Homo-oligomer: A and B are copies of this chain.
Amino acid sequence: MPAPRQVNIAVLGAGGVGSCFLSQLSSLSAKLSQNPSTPTYLSLILLSRSKTMVYNDAFKPINISDWKSIMEKNSKPALPLPDLADFLAMSPEKVVLVDNTSSQDVADHYPMFLRKGISVVTANKKGFAGSYALWQDIFRAASNGTGQGGWIFHESSVGACLPTVSTLKDLVETGDEVRKIEGVFSGTMSFLFNNFMPAGGGGGSFSQEVKKAKDLGYTEPDPRDDLNGMDVARKLTILGRLVGLEIESPTSFPVQSLIPTALENVKDPNEFMAKLGGYDGEMEKLKKEAASEGKVLRYVGSVDVEKKQCRVGLEKFDSSHPISALKGSDNIFSFYTKRYGESPLVIQGAGAGGDVTAMGVTGDLIKVLRLLPQRQ
């Protein structure tokens, strides 16, 4: 019987996704320690929040269920990232770094962590939707790229726990040809257009629906951070790169912003919301145009792989199209491939939320645990 395994876990970020993850880690840790054949012991050995960190030089475990009060009592100033990488590399056990932040700075250091043998799991889009040079650097370092370092998984960087990243990777690795990717990749945009123009008719003015989405917490504090389309563009960048396109950045292809030009530079989000109604005419015109063709408007991302064209913006869909039938704030991803032919492989469901995002990260952690060599 193999000896029990010990794996050390370092968690960056303890906000919405981070706190859900810590709760899932606590259950997972209890479950894995009970595995009758090869018990695995997970130790939380470092936890960071904003500019503070809890850790100790002996890699002694932090009681996960008590993390909040421990952070309050025992925090030290956060280590700079290169020092953090050096510190984790000294661990006598394998280390998995769980990045629950949305920090570009952390993402920029993934290659450094990976090269030191530290595996990374994350929902953070920044490492995969930033510059193409960073994407290359990450997968040149990782064992599931062409490198020799740690493993890296990022299922939740697109559509939370919906199996989008892993499915696309499987299609490519098994030799299928992905021809087109299309879908609604933003819960906010989904909710907004499902209400602005439901397939059955109806819906309020565009500014009213933006206000409704904001009041219900479906938008960022400044709704322009959703309406500019960059969140969708980042996800599309990741999906496109997964199928082999060398997309330079999320701003290197056309992204239609829904922010009226005149309101782009308004400083106060409240002022923006107050003035948005004055620009409802343009969206109303598009809505009428679509309705006259028996179609509905949806905000979609698409990749035409053969033509190497990415696009994010408004499109019209027949009311019988699955994209038109989307409900609530659900995401939908359609993968058109050579082997699937005319009828795409479709994945649909909630693409945001603390628990389902953390679940993707926890799933990735389980994958890494399986891949780390067992002690003999």
Instruction: Give chain A's interface residues, CB within 8 Å of chain B.
Output: 1-2, 24, 27-28, 31, 35-38, 143-144, 146-148, 161-163, 166-167, 170-171, 173-176, 320, 322, 325, 327-328, 330, 339-350, 353, 355-356, 359, 362-363, 366, 370-371, 373-374
Please determine whether A370 and B373 come into contact, CB atoms closer than 8 angstroms.
Answer: no
Please determine whether A344 and B349 come into contact, CB atoms closer than 8 angstroms.
Answer: yes
Please determine whether A174 and B359 come into contact, CB atoms closer than 8 angstroms.
Answer: yes
Please determine whether A37 and B346 come into contact, CB atoms closer than 8 angstroms.
Answer: no
Q: Which residues of B contact A348 (CB under 8 A)?
A: 322, 345-348
- State A31–B173 Cα separation when bound (angstroms): 9
- State A166–B162 Cα separation when bound (angstroms): 12
Q: Which residues of B contact A163 (CB under 8 A)?
A: 163, 166-167, 170, 347
Please determine whether B362 and A1 come into contact, CB atoms closer than 8 angstroms.
Answer: no
With a 10 A CB-CB cut-off, give which of A144, A170, A322, A325 has the most chain B CB atoms.
Answer: A170
Q: Which residues of B contact A28 (CB under 8 A)?
A: 173-175
From residue A298, how far is it (CB to closest CB) to chain B in Å? 16
- State A362–B176 Cα separation when bound (angstroms): 11
Please determine whether B366 and A2 come into contact, CB atoms closer than 8 angstroms.
Answer: no
- State A256–B253 Cα separation when bound (angstroms): 52
Please determine whether A355 and B339 come into contact, CB atoms closer than 8 angstroms.
Answer: yes
Give the oligomeric copy count: 2
Please determine whether A350 and B341 come into contact, CB atoms closer than 8 angstroms.
Answer: yes
Question: A343's contact among B147, B349, B363, by CB below 8 Å, is which?
Answer: B349
- State A27–B339 Cα separation when bound (angstroms): 15
Please determine whether A339 and B359 come into contact, CB atoms closer than 8 angstroms.
Answer: yes
Question: A347's contact among B346, B353, B359, by CB below 8 Å, is which?
Answer: B346
Q: A340-B356, A345-B348 are contacts. A146–B37 as well, Cβ < 8 Å?
A: yes
Q: A37-B146, A37-B148, A363-B170 are contacts. A175–B27 as well, Cβ < 8 Å?
A: yes
- State A173–B161 Cα separation when bound (angstroms): 13
Closest to A170 in B: B363
From residue A318, how far is it (CB to closest CB) to chain B in Å? 12
From residue A325, how far is it (CB to closest CB) to chain B in Å? 6
Q: A170-B363, A173-B363 are contacts. A343–B327 as well, Cβ < 8 Å?
A: yes
- State A170–B28 Cα separation when bound (angstroms): 12
Q: Which residues of B contact A35 (CB under 8 A)?
A: 146
Query: What are 7 A-B pairs with beta-carbon distances under 8 A?
Result: A2-B148, A24-B174, A24-B175, A37-B146, A163-B170, A320-B325, A345-B350
Closest to A162 in B: B345
Please determine whether A146 and B343 come into contact, CB atoms closer than 8 angstroms.
Answer: no
From residue A182, how far is it (CB to closest CB) to chain B in Å? 14
Please determine whether B37 and A147 come into contact, CB atoms closer than 8 angstroms.
Answer: yes
